[in-house]
Amino acid sequence: MIQNWKKLGLINLPGDGNIKQSHYSVPFAMPITNEIVRIYYSPRDNENRSFVTYADINLFTREVMSTSDQPILTHGSLGLFDDSGVVLFQILKINNVNYLYYSGWMVGVTVPFYFWVGLAIDKGNGVYEKVSQAPILPCHSEDPFLTGAPYVIHEANTWKMWYISGTSWVIEGNQPKHYYTLKYAVSTNGIDWERSAHICLPYKSPEEYAIARPCVIKEDGIYKMWFSYRGSNKAASYRIGYAESENGLDWKRMDELVNLDVSNSGWDSEMICYGHVFDLNGERYMLYNGNGYGKSGIGLAKLQRDLK
């Protein structure tokens, strides 16, 4: 079934001269009431290091009700895997404990960057503490280049994660170019993960080189994934794709079902990326970024059909 997404407009989150310097990247929605949604996102400071903060908005008016005074997660100490910034991808609440899964960044030399999956936990006091100074998905024989963009669901006492895994760096035009797509891992505690070589979404064409930011919902016994992709014949910049799976491992791509494309002009006229799909009051919504990987802000779209 075609997913007809109606764009509801840009959420103009305010800047805060001290900490929110640029970007509103990788939004994640956590409904608070039937109207208020907490939007987590990752801006950059004046040294271009990303951190995590949030704002509470009225979903129906897109009015900002309040914002966080301080970051809830910041970069690590010099030399650590996240010393160049942290980007939140999901908060998962299990047994009244919030698990914040993120990507930690390092600036590279032979390649522009490295990133790896990290975890911070809030046990109820609103303060997130990193479980380790090291990533929970570090360099590994199955992931030798990088890991990132984790999305986790908890099902039948098993934690299931879909995440970015680098497949190569290639010199093109005298510059290193990254190639990464999505893999799968399982855990019994959300911290220690078992990986495999299985690739969930192979590249669709020789031109495609980046498949990013998965968002997974299990519905009617089917795993449904929205993700960002670029480099295909359709788009050199990011677009939102879609896939379904019966087992969470083997996915059928159906990008053509997502009726949400760039605008003719304006803040999302060049790319649409980093979508997070969530439900509220029996309706389905998507937060997403536009031009500049979130530099132009966060947009809101609504699915134009009733949920099953």
- Rounded to an integer, the average pLDDT of 183-196 is 97
Domains of the chain with CATH codes? 3-302 (2.115.10.20)
pTM above 0.85, yes or no: yes
Structure token pair of residue 38 = 């907490």
Q: Is the pLDDT of residue 18 over 60?
A: no
- Rounded to an integer, the average pLDDT of 130-135 is 98
Contacts of 198 (CB under 8 A, 6+ apart): 183, 184, 249
In this predicted model, what pLDDT tens digit does every residue of 98-123 receive, in sequence order? Answer: 999 999 999 999 999 999 999 999 97
- Rounded to an integer, the average pLDDT of 217-227 is 97
Q: Is the pLDDT of residue 16 over 70?
A: no
pLDDT at 233: 55
Distance CA 163, CA 147 (A): 7
Contacts 24+ apart (CB under 8 A), 106-109: 106/80, 106/81, 106/82
Q: Is the pLDDT of residue 308 over 50?
A: no
The one-character DSSP state at 209 is: -
Q: Is the pLDDT of residue 65 over 80?
A: yes
In this predicted model, what pLDDT tens digit does every residue of 139-179 receive, in sequence order? Answer: 999 999 999 999 999 999 999 999 999 999 999 989 999 99
pLDDT at 305: 72
pLDDT band (50, 70, 90) for residue 93 = very high
pLDDT at 17: 47
pLDDT at 235: 59
pLDDT band (50, 70, 90) for residue 221 = very high
By three-state DSSP, how is residue 291 classified? Answer: helix
pLDDT above 90 as % of the chain: 84
pLDDT band (50, 70, 90) for residue 126 = confident
* Residue carrying the six token digits 């079934």: 1
- Average pLDDT of the chain to the nearest whole number: 93
